[in-house]
Structure 1
Amino acid sequence: MTIVRLGYVAMSVELQNCSPSKTMTFTQFEQLKDREAAIRKLERIATTNLENCLRLLKHNTANEIHFFRLSSRLIPLANHEELSDWDYFTPLKKPLNKLADYIHAHPSRIDFHPDHFVVLNTHQKDTLKNSIQTLSMHKGLLKGMDIDPEHRCVIHVGGGYEDKEKALESFIYNWAYIPQSIQQMIMLENDDTTFTMNETLYLCEKLGIPMVFDYHHHLANHEEEDWEKHWERVISTWSQSKLPIKMHISSPRSEKEFRAHANYVDPDLFLGFLDRIKGSIPEIYCMIEAKQKDAALFQLMDDMQGREGVTIIDKSSFEIR
């Protein structure tokens, strides 16, 4: 028996005018002649994004959703080189405190997935510096919401650079330059083009990093690996974490666009995975990476109704035997 908790990514298709990713380009910023006024506008946009996050969390509570990925675009231009003097956390203290108060009153699992510009196996010092800076921003946001940052940011291994073995060793080499507080935030995910499950596990086991298994990515990029043979290894990477194991679930858009995410999750694909891991762990958190966001979660829960071996717990959770 295993309890399955479903979550969704960043935005709701059910709520209107609730984007947490409103932005301003640097070109638009430069067009405002008064730099201080332009910075105040950035702060207003970031405040709106955080207020919309609060609306999303209230939406989740109303729908008994206990797992959510925050947008990594909450603060536009946060780490732009031309805005290195901008102290964006001070003006955002009030909306962050409101989020903290709400999260304390309505606990749920909240994390981030920083974008592909975060590359820790890079050969470029500036790229590594910018990656650490971006991860530091995520840590600041989590601390501002009074969330323990440990194992709250999932990232990919990075580039293959035409030699995956060397690229893996570059990750290990660069890891020594990552501050420990940032190291503790990180989870690693297998990707759909370069680093397979087994290659990602190599780093996770060597460096003590939890692995987030992406089943769709594995189907797209596995080099004949049998994921079931490595599943116990994935579980073991979570042995030192305070959090239950998590994975990503999505479905291919089509055979032609296999790597692209479909609007919804194929329930048979998902149940095929769950049938093979049920009983191996008491609980698993499954992040839905589908174009229809929360609507995909609601549809998947509808699809679970009446399935053999499935007992519904609430609007986003079920037990599988």
Structure 2
Amino acid sequence: MPASPSPLSSPPPSPITPNLGLVCITVGPEVRFRTITRTRYLSFPEEERAGVLHALYGDNIGRLAGAAAYCVAQGIRLYRMSAALFPMLDLEGDPTGQRVLESLSAELRAAGDAFTAAGIRVLVHPDQFIVLNSENPDVVRRAVYALSFYGLIMDMLGFSRSPWNTILLHGGKGGRAGELAAIIPTLPDAVRSRLCLENDERAFGPTELLPVCREVGVPLIFDAHHHVVREKLSSQDDPSVRHFVLAARATWTPPQWQVVHLSSGIDGPQDRRHTDLITAFPAAYHDVPWIEVEAKGKELALSDLKQRLKPTP
């Protein structure tokens, strides 16, 4: 079990209690998903591959429904769905995964309905190999192709085509903000309507991403830890953090849908590695309504943080 962190910095009094988000899996056995490598998949004879994927996809859909039940039981209203629920779905030249997922459409919709009925907001963060503004046209083509399946999955789950059900990406190739802004409006509506961008530690800080977000009308999910690492700041209470929380909020319609990311560095603010539990809560986050907690402790980190953020009687 993760060790207890140092005392949490107390945020100023706030009129809201944030919704803390669980990322993908749990430390315990409650929420786990199966996967398969490309090499392993291709080792099966072609006539067996559909059966392999049907068993795997069906199992993961059941576990996704289990994640909804777990969130309900724990009072969690924000959940980041795994980006790897359906391996081989976007394998070019092989439509097996697409056919299998379509055969499970009723089960997938039922899992989505379980989240929706409970008022649980669901997001997904595709892998960083998806780079929309690469200098290589083939990389861009593959990125758009892969993203189209995330739009399909969100549609099949019955989720809204809005940033309420976010598909989140980093900015991609640094120095190519113009190319990023140019391609976003061309994305399939199932993707573009849900798209949000996030600042990272190297290529795109909020200063570079905000003009893109404003130009193309997509929200910014601000990550204070990434910002502090990139700018070599002393803490997440640097005044610039509040500045960018508010600037990012202005990209959200409505502002009450704003999401930020929260994490702590193991060996201090400059450490990229995430701690088990959150060790510092930025004062700038005190009125943010939705906070995804990126900590190794997963549900333990949420529970610990929720208790320590309770207002003092």
TM-score, normalised to structure 2's length?
0.85
Match of 1:129 among 137, 141, 152: 141
Alpha-carbon contact 1:123-1:170 (below 8 Å) kept: no
Structure 1 runs of 4+ with >4 Å offset: none
Structure 1 match to 2:150: 138
Q: Deviations over 1:268-297 (max 9, x none)?
A: x21xx2x33545xxx510001111211111
**Aligned positions of 1:17-96 closer than 5 A:** 18-20=31-33, 22-33=34-45, 35-84=46-95, 86-96=98-108
**Aligned positions of 1:106-121 closer than 5 A:** 106-121=118-133
**Aligned positions of 1:234-245 closer than 5 A:** 234-238=248-252, 240-241=253-254, 244-245=257-258
Match of 1:298 among 299, 303, 306: 303
Structure 1 match to 2:3: none
Structure 2 match to 1:177: 186
Q: Deviations over 1:149-192 (max 9, x none)?
A: 322111100022xxx2xx11121232343234422111010001
In the alignment, the residues of structure 2 paired with residue 104 and residue 209 of structure 1 have an alpha-carbon distance, to the nearest angstrom, of 23
Q: Deviations over 1:37-82 (max 9, x none)?
A: 1122012101111111111110110111111000010101111124
Alpha-carbon contact 1:12-1:56 (below 8 Å) kept: no
Match of 2:278 among 228, 244, 265: 265
| Per-residue deviation, 1:110 | 0.6
**Residue 304 to residue 232, structure 1, CA distance change in 2 (3 Å):** closer
**Residue 196 to residue 39, structure 1, CA distance change in 2 (3 Å):** same
Q: In structure 2, give the amino acid aligned to 1:252.
A: G
Question: Do residues 233 (structure 1) and 250 (structure 2) align?
Answer: no
Q: In structure 2, give the amino acid aligned to 1:14.
A: G
In the alignment, the residues of structure 2 paired with residue 180 and residue 186 of structure 1 have an alpha-carbon distance, to the nearest angstrom, of 10
Report % sequence identity: 23
In the alignment, the residues of structure 1 paired with residue 295 and residue 169 of structure 2 have an alpha-carbon distance, to the nearest angstrom, of 18
Q: Deviations over 1:99-142 (max 9, x none)?
A: 13323431211110111011111122222222122222111111
**Aligned positions of 1:157-306 closer than 5 A:** 157-160=171-174, 164=175, 167-222=176-231, 226-238=240-252, 240-241=253-254, 244-255=257-268, 258-266=271-279, 269-270=280-281, 273=282, 275-278=283-286, 284-305=289-310
In the alignment, the residues of structure 1 paired with residue 245 and residue 43 of structure 2 have an alpha-carbon distance, to the nearest angstrom, of 52
Name whichever of 82-91 and 146-155 sits farther off: 82-91
Structure 2 match to 1:147: 159
| Per-residue deviation, 1:256 | 9.5
Alpha-carbon contact 2:199-2:222 (below 8 Å) kept: yes
Q: In structure 2, give the amino acid aligned to 1:92.
A: L
Alpha-carbon contact 2:150-2:191 (below 8 Å) kept: no
RMSD: 2.2
Alpha-carbon contact 2:115-2:121 (below 8 Å) kept: no
Alpha-carbon contact 2:245-2:284 (below 8 Å) kept: no
- Structure 1: which 5+ residue stretches go unaligned? 312-321
Structure 2 match to 1:7: 21
